[in-house]
Structure 1
Amino acid sequence: MSRTRFSRRSVLLGTGAALMAPGILRAQTPELWNEAFPSNEPVIRDTTPARRNMSSFKTRDWQDHFDTLGAGAILCDITSRAVHYWGPDGQTYRLYPSSVPMTDELTRRGRTQVVRKKVGPTWTPTANMRDRDPTLPAFLPAGPGNPLGTHAMYLTWPAYLIHGTHDTRKIGRQSSSGCIGLYNPHIEELYGLTQIGTQVLLL
């Protein structure tokens, strides 16, 4: 029984991989995919995450969301829990699984842009975060315990970021206080590709 299940899963993953560009494949190693979309997942912050459909994690065309590429474009698709990146050359494309906000109340949608980038970000929880969870520290330096992971990109909206995470269980889930989170290897790659001024759309 387990061998049949493994074979069927291998065929599905293999077929999906064959349809995707090489740049996308680098963003979806089997180990990270399995962590991002586990068949069984625990409750996060006492809220049962919505079931995910692998078919919703698909490539998109930048022309459907942006007039021009300019310095590049990032689409954070909150529904499918995926981040899409298009480079200014019109050829570079990446697709990554992501974490998304825990509730609609914490979710912000619309257009913004990357205004600052930081390797080894520090973390200062907002007053609202500490009101919701009084156990949060006032400040955390960069390092393994920092929820922003290894790299962070700051948007025009205060306290909203695209960042990494050391807690890989969060990826593919409703687990953030408003930010978009990526695996550390993925945010490192996206960080290197992204220019200041890159347009961002959260939908």
Structure 2
Amino acid sequence: MAHHLNRRALLLGAAATALPLQVLAAPSINRANISSFVSQDWRDHFETLGQGAIVCDTASRALHFWNADGTDYRIYPTSVPRTDELTKRGYTSIVRKKVGPSWTPTASQMERFPDWEPVAGGAPDNPLGTHAMYLDWPAYLIHGTHDTRKIGRPSSDGCIGLYNEKIAELFAITPIGTQVRLI
């Protein structure tokens, strides 16, 4: 039985053969929307678990949560501050929680964007999403976002952002007083 080789078959065969070589030779791509979920150990950051612990890892763009007895460990993808100047690092804690938080631009945001207006809690365009957990540093929060393109990216003015469904989950299991470390 003779094989009939036409131009289409020849081109498809050549493309299939060349593809693995192109993939192997492709340069490393630095993507702006990526998280590398590396497990953390709470003992590397805190003396005790206390009421619970959160580590916000700005390098891997992930939030790590441990409950008070260490039996519940969760990792969430996050948005992180756009620049190192906007990133506050160190130890803090959750001092307040709010469902349907309202948002008011900070003074520095108003300098850069004078047309920005406060947004009422529950509004679909609220930059804080559906839930917010306030840190004891003024104007720094862990909150949700309606703009899912921000997760995995350096896109905030200092806050740590999560998908709305993930902040709702974290909100429900995180007591006020939970210790937080931003690295």
> TM-score normalised to the size of structure 2?
0.81
Superposed CA offset, 1:158-186 (max 9, x none): 00000000000000001000000000010
For 1:151 and 1:180, how far apart are their aligned partners in 2?
12
1:8-27 equivalences under 5 Å are none
For 1:72 and 1:178, how far apart are their aligned partners in 2?
22
1:170-185 equivalences under 5 Å are 170-185=150-165
Are 2:27 and 1:86 aligned?
no
Say which SS state the counterpart of residue 91 (structure 1) adopts: coil
Are 2:119 and 1:140 aligned?
yes
* Gap change, CA 1:40 and 1:66, over 3 Å in 2: closer
Choose the corresponding residue for 1:72, options 52, 58, 81.
52
For 1:166 and 1:104, how far apart are their aligned partners in 2?
24
Corresponding position of 1:129: 109
Corresponding position of 2:41: 61
Q: Which 4+ residue blocks in structure 1 deviate beyond 3 angstroms?
A: none
Are 2:102 and 1:160 aligned?
no
> TM-score normalised to the size of structure 1?
0.73
For 2:135 and 2:97, how far apart are their aligned partners in 1?
9
- Using the aligned pairs only, state the percent identity: 63
Which runs of 5 or more structure 1 residues have no equivalent in the other structure?
6-38, 42-48
Answer with 1 or 2: which has the greater Rg: 2
The amino acid of 1:89's aligned partner reads: D
Give the CA RMSD over aligned residues: 2.0
Alignment: residue pair count: 157
Say which SS state the counterpart of residue 158 (structure 1) adopts: coil
For 1:40 and 1:184, how far apart are their aligned partners in 2?
26
Corresponding position of 1:45: none
Which runs of 5 or more structure 2 residues have no equivalent in the other structure?
1-15, 21-28
1:30-41 equivalences under 5 Å are none
Are 2:180 and 1:191 aligned?
no
Say which SS state the counterpart of residue 59 (structure 1) adopts: coil
